[in-house]
Structure formats: structure tokens, C-alpha cells
């Protein structure tokens, strides 16, 4: 992996760069759609390429459970398995320690959990997480971490931070694949001293990139921005910074302003499958009765396949008739919208006027 900065904004910490992996060039800041089960729901790999997607995120935990990393490895890794020849990032399973807390037991050794697929008992450790991701063959892999809910007690956050650091060290010790870049994940809930200690200690270990985890878990925009403001500057300027699981446009804009380079979230596709489209005039719900006879596109300023071929009335009809095409069309438009949003953000950073761009973008009703 190679990363270089091309420009920084004049009035903020926003930055524009290039991230190169063995599967291509990624212009940053970048938004990565989520393909949990080796698929971005309702969209093909060719559609993602058409939308301009340069990288996406897959879920090591879920792919370990089904179909299993050995099957994926025998297909040439995720790239061959899902017919995607651009960059793939895999998370380690740490988020599932949080999201599936009712099914697991966490110790310093690792996590014992009950499979949500067949109920069998599984054990996930830093070494196991690294082995799974090695078999999946992603370009960028994540160290195993512990993600906490919000709110949590400071003592619990500190304990988790030390566990995350210990797990990160173990991941680094067994990292052997030079074709995969290993990122560490900064944890610590919303406690500044804990976050700062975690960041500083991980930076000392010398990872190839750094992520901020444990955010967008209920703490709200204001607290998340506080964490970004004091944590991002602690991360190496010459390495990529990744804000995990954050995907509403306003949160992405804030993250960019604080110097974040990479984002991922299910927001555009999850909203799309529910008939919600992100547009230049704000978010709309195409299921609304007022679109029943609307002959216009989802977004008058968008040139994507959906907007150049289909009306709001037609798309609304597809949802009313439970036709799968409706889910695909709105999801595709939303991915295109997010890619165009990031393109404009990058351009504004290169021109040194990101602050003005952000202000104008967020002034749009609904964004």
C-alpha cells in the first residue's frame, strides 16, 4: 500500500490524497459501500464500478460463519469470489463483539460467541481474526478490537482500551502477508485521556494506517466530533485515517473537516432499499403518495442510470408492487450520489475552499 497527500484545505484540517493498493488507485477522502456478505445488497460489481466505487468493505466475521474463509480462499480470495478487481477492506469482527453482545463472552484471550447462523459455539481471537482475513485476501485488513456501546463507564472504557492495544500487538506479531496492509483501531469511547493513550500507543507500534472505532454507536454528532477533533491530530500525517461505520452526509462532512480520509457505512444502500433517496435537494422518500404521478427523476442534477431512465412515479410503483428492481435502482442512485459528493469534496480541498463547499452542501434541506 502507498499513500500520499496531495493537498490540505486552507481553513480546516481536510486533506486530499491518493491511496494505492495492488488493486488500484483510491482518491481520498473516499466513501466505501459495505458488502457485508461479499455483496453490496441489491447491486452487482459492475454496477458499483459504473457508480465510480474504488473500494468497498466486507465483513470477516460474517464470511467466516458463512460460507467460510476456506471456500473463499479456494476462489482466489474475495476478489475472485465476488468478481471485484478493485480494493477490498475487511473488518476484523470487533464490531460484532459489540453488535452481537448477547451472544458472546469477552476475555483477554478473545471472544467466545454463539453463531447467529447455526447456534454453534465459536472462538475469535486476534490470531484467528488475522488468519480469517489472510484467507479472504483483502487489500486492507483491520486489527481485532473491542467496540463498546454508548454510554459506558470510564473504568470499562479503560479496560477495553488496554485489551484493544494488547490485541493489536498480537495481530501485528502474526501479520505475515506483505500484500495486505494492517490498520489499527483507536478505541476509548468518549473519554479524551483514554482515546489519546490508545492512539499514542498504537502509533508507536507502527501500523500502516489507523482507524477510529467505537463511534456512531449512540453518542451523537457533537460528542463524535469532539473525539475526532482531539484524536485525529494524534495520528500520523503520512498515513491514512479511517472513520469506521459513519455514513450520514453531514457526519462525513464533519469527518473530512477533521482530517479523515476513509469512510464506510450501510446508509446509502439501507436507505435505498427502504425507498429513501439522497438528492441535491435533500433526502426524499419515494414511497410518499405525492410521487405517484411524478414524471421527474429522483434528482434533476444526477446523471446516473436510475435518474436518466426512470421517473419517481415508476420507482414508487416498483416499491408498491414489491418488485426487487426498485430496491436496486434507488440503492444505485444513492451510491452514485455519495460518490459524487466525495468527488466534489475532494475538488473543494484541492481548490482550498472545503469550508464553503461544506456549508453550501449542508444548507440543502434534508442533508
Q: Are residues 195 and 280 in the same domain?
A: no
Burial class (CB in 10 A: 0-12, 13-18, 19+), 287: middle
- Regarding beta strands 241-243 and 209-212, do their DSSP bridges make them parallel or antiparallel, or are they unpaired? parallel
Q: How many CB atoms lie within 10 A of CB 102?
A: 8
Q: Are residues 259 and 287 in the same domain?
A: no
366 located within any domain? no
Q: Are residues 151 and 260 in the same domain?
A: yes
CA 209, 213, 219: angle at the middle one, nearest 5? 150
CA 107 to CA 125: how far, in whole Å? 10
Give residue-wise pLDDT tens across range 236-272. 999 999 999 999 999 999 999 999 999 999 999 999 9
Give residue-wise pLDDT tens across range 296-341. 999 999 999 999 999 999 999 999 999 999 999 999 999 999 999 9
What one-character DSSP code corresponds to residue 149?
Answer: P
Give residue for cell 456501546: 149
CATH code assigned at 223 = 3.20.20.105
Range of the domain at 188: 2-265
Give residue-wise pLDDT tens across range 110-148. 999 888 899 999 999 999 999 999 999 999 999 999 999
Joined grid coordinates for residue 300:
434533476
365 located within any domain? no
pLDDT of residue 364: 82
**Alpha-carbon torsion, ordered 96, 198, 254, 266, to 10 deg:** -10
pLDDT-derived band at 365, boundaries 50, 70, 90: low
Among 216, 235, 265, the domain boundary falls at 265
367 located within any domain? no
pLDDT-derived band at 101, boundaries 50, 70, 90: confident
363 located within any domain? no
Distance from the Cα of residue 42 to its chain's centroid: 18
pLDDT-derived band at 97, boundaries 50, 70, 90: confident
Q: Are residues 282 and 181 in the same domain?
A: no
| 337: Cβ contacts below 8 Å, ≥ 6 apart | 268, 277, 278, 279, 299, 302, 304
Residues assigned a catalytic role: 91, 264
pLDDT of residue 114: 86
The phi, psi pair for 243, rounded to 5°, reads -100, 110
CA 316 to CA 98: how far, in whole Å? 36
pLDDT of residue 82: 98
CA 48 to CA 167: how far, in whole Å? 34
What one-character DSSP code corresponds to residue 289?
Answer: G
Give residue-wise pLDDT tens across range 188-214. 999 999 999 999 999 999 999 999 999
Max CA pair span of the chain: 61
Q: Are 66 and 129 in contact (CB under 8 A)?
A: no
Joined grid coordinates for residue 43:
447491486
CA 164 to CA 297: how far, in whole Å? 47
pLDDT of residue 192: 98
Q: Are residues 223 and 319 in the same domain?
A: no
333 located within any domain? yes
Among 234, 265, 296, the domain boundary falls at 265
Residues pairing with 18 in the sheet? 4, 27
Question: Cα dist. 122→108, 132, 222, 240 in Å?
Answer: 16, 13, 37, 32
Please count the structural domains in the chain: 2
Among 265, 289, 324, the domain boundary falls at 265
Upstream peptide bond of 39 is cis (omega within 30 degrees of 0): no
Query: Which conformational region is residue 281 in: left (phi greater than 0), alpha (psi within -120 to 50 degrees), or beta?
Result: alpha
Q: Are residues 169 and 220 in the same domain?
A: yes
CA 293 to CA 324: how far, in whole Å? 20
Amino acid at each position: 500500500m502507498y499513500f500520499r497527500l496531495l493537498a490540505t484545505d486552507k481553513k480546516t484540517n481536510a486533506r486530499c490524497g491518493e491511496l494505492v493498493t495492488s488493486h488500484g488507485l483510491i482518491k481520498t477522502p473516499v466513501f466505501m459501500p459495505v458488502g457485508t456478505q461479499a455483496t453490496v445488497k441489491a447491486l452487482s460489481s459492475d454496477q458499483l464500478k459504473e457508480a465510480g466505487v474504488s473500494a468497498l468493505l466486507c465483513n470477516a466475521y460474517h464470511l467466516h460463519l458463512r460460507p467460510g474463509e476456506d471456500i473463499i480462499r479456494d476462489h482466489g480470495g474475495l476478489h475472485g469470489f465476488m468478481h471485484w478487481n478493485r480494493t477490498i477492506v475487511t473488518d476484523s469482527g470487533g464490531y460484532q463483539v459489540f453488535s452481537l453482545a448477547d451472544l458472546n463472552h469477552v476475555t483477554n484471550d478473545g471472544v467466545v460467541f454463539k453463531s447467529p447462523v447455526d447456534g454453534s459455539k465459536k472462538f475469535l481471537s486476534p490470531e484467528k481474526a488475522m488468519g480469517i482475513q489472510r484467507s479472504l485476501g483483502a487489500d486492507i485488513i483491520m486489527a481485532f478490537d473491542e467496540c463498546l456501546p454508548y454510554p459506558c463507564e470510564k473504568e470499562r472504557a479503560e479496560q477495553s482500551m488496554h485489551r484493544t492495544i494488547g490485541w493489536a500487538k498480537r495481530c501485528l506479531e502474526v501479520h505475515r502477508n506483505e500484500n495486505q496492509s494492517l490498520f489499527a483501531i483507536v478505541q476509548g469511547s468518549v473519554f479524551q485521556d483514554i482515546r489519546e493513550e490508545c492512539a499514542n500507543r498504537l502509533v508507536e507500534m507502527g501500523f500502516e494506517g489507523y482507524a477510529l472505532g467505537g463511534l456512531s454507536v449512540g453518542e451523537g454528532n457533537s460528542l463524535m466530533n469532539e473525539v475526532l477533533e482531539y484524536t485525529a491530530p494524534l495520528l500520523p500525517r503520512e498515513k491514512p485515517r479511517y472513520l469506521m461505520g459513519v455514513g450520514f452526509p453531514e457526519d462525513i462532512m464533519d469527518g473530512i473537516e477533521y482530517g479523515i480520509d476513509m469512510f464506510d457505512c450501510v446508509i446509502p444502500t439501507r436507505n435505498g432499499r427502504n425507498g429513501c433517496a439522497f438528492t441535491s435537494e435533500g433526502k426524499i422518500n419515494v414511497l410518499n403518495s405525492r410521487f405517484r404521478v411524478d414524471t421527474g427523476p429522483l434528482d434533476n442534477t444526477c446523471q446516473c442510470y436510475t435518474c436518466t431512465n426512470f421517473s419517481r412515479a415508476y420507482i414508487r410503483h416498483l416499491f408498491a408492487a414489491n418488485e426487487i428492481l426498485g430496491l436496486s435502482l434507488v440503492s444505485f442512485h444513492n451510491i452514485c450520489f455519495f460518490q459524487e459528493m466525495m468527488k466534489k469534496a475532494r475538488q473543494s480541498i484541492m481548490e482550498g475552499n472545503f469550508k464553503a463547499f461544506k456549508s453550501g452542501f449542508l444548507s440543502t434541506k434534508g442533508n
